[in-house]
Amino acid sequence: MHVSRRTFAFAFAAAVCAGVPVCANTVLDPSAPSTLALYNLGDVPDVAASYSNQIFYEGLAITGNSLLLSVGDPATAAQKVWSLPLVRVNNHIAGFGVATVYDQVLSYPGTCCLGNIVGGGLVPLGTDLLYTTNYFSYLGQQTGPTSNLIDLTSTGVAAGGLNYVPGSFTGNGAGQLKLSSTCEPGDFGCNAQGDWYTLNLGGSVGSYSVNGITAFNVGVTALSFDYVPVDATFTSPGIVLGDSSQLRLDYYQVDGNGNPCNPTMNISCGPVIHMVVSDTLIGLGVVRDPVTGDILFTSGDNQIYMVTDSIPEPGTIALVATGLLLAAYKQTRVVRRNKPSIYPSA
């Protein structure tokens, strides 16, 4: 069994931040592009109120107009994936609607592995889900009410993020299923061959088997990640990831196989863009909204942040706050947030 440094960071954060709504210092990196802005969307009261023990905001995914949030609950094997309706205003995410349980998945089989939680990988496939678990590493697949778990611990991977390379990434590994690890090659109990993996699955979702795992050493571990197409800020197809070692949210260009192209490992790679830095784990879940281009990520102190490459006008923020409050008053909690508008991170 491999216990990642993430496990110790979680325990430390839980002890230091107990009873404190926000204790982390999460800010834009000093070298981040000047076009980027960072907002703290806060926690999710509907979700937080449903638990009486310490939990962890984990993986993120977007399906249609809803954000999926997996919550790690170390007290039980039954983990909840929540659905949060997205409130988009003027081509930006401004908040979330009332949370509902989207699905319930298993983090470990039977009575095994008390304390195992869902990880940063969360991939919707229609109404089905693929996901990862942390501490003991499983690849989970959920179809209807049934969870099927594939044990990955023998590979030496400490499962982090999970995602398919988008079909639009022609020449960059389009269609491959990628798994990141929070375990660095050379560390005790880790796979010496790599910190990123390509999974070859056989069968269909719900009854997948792993027909092959190809390991790559790209020199960066990740809690979660998502792919970013070319836009005004990112001039090459790339990947945004939560670096589990450096407590940063970073952008890497991708290589021909859809893996991060790390210039410290390959001098032909483009430069890394440091986007956000923190004193706690960030990027436990990462997702790019395909509608607005906003990038959402979760943090170790159970906050949801947003990075955007264009700053909303101050008047827009005020209108969003007013509109959400009026809607909540008139329609009885159509939108319920502790911070109904988007607030710049301190």
DSSP letter for 213, please: E
Task: Give the DSSP per-residue string, 7-31.
Answer: HHHHHHHHHHSTT-S-----EE-TT
Inter-residue contact 70 to 122 (CB < 8 Å): yes
CA–CA separation, 241 vs 70, rounded Å?
17
Question: Is the CATH number 3.30.70 carried by domain 5-344?
Answer: no
> What is the percent of the chain where pLDDT is above 90?
77
pLDDT at 306 over 70: yes
Q: What are phi and psi of 245, to 5 degrees?
A: -95, -40
Task: Over range 162-186, report the average pLDDT.
Answer: 96
Q: Where are the alpha helices (DSSP H) in the chain?
A: 5-16, 45-48, 314-331
pLDDT tens figures, 148-159: 999 998 888 999
Across all residues in the chain, what is the average pLDDT? 85
- Residue 344 pLDDT > 90, yes or no? no
- Do 327 and 318 touch, CB atoms closer than 8 A? no
**Between β-strands 27-28 and 209-216, what pairing exists: parallel, antiparallel or unpaired?**
unpaired
C-alpha 213/C-alpha 39 separation (Å) is: 37
**Two structure tokens written together for 41:** 């969307």
Is-contact 203 128, C-beta < 8 A? no
pLDDT at 14: 39
For residue range 109-118, list pLDDT tens digits in order: 988 888 999 9
List the one residue out of 123, 133, 138, 120 whose CA is nearest residue 58: 120
Confidence at residue 128, expressed as pLDDT on a 0 to 100 scale? 97
Q: Give 230-265 pLDDT, tens digit per residue.
A: 988 899 999 999 999 999 999 999 999 999 999 999
Q: Is the pLDDT of residue 322 over 70?
A: no
Mean pLDDT of 173-194: 93
The predicted model gives 65-71 an average pLDDT of 98
Tell whether the model's pLDDT for residue 140 goes beyond 90: yes
Model confidence band, residue 310 (pLDDT cutoffs 50, 70, 90) = low
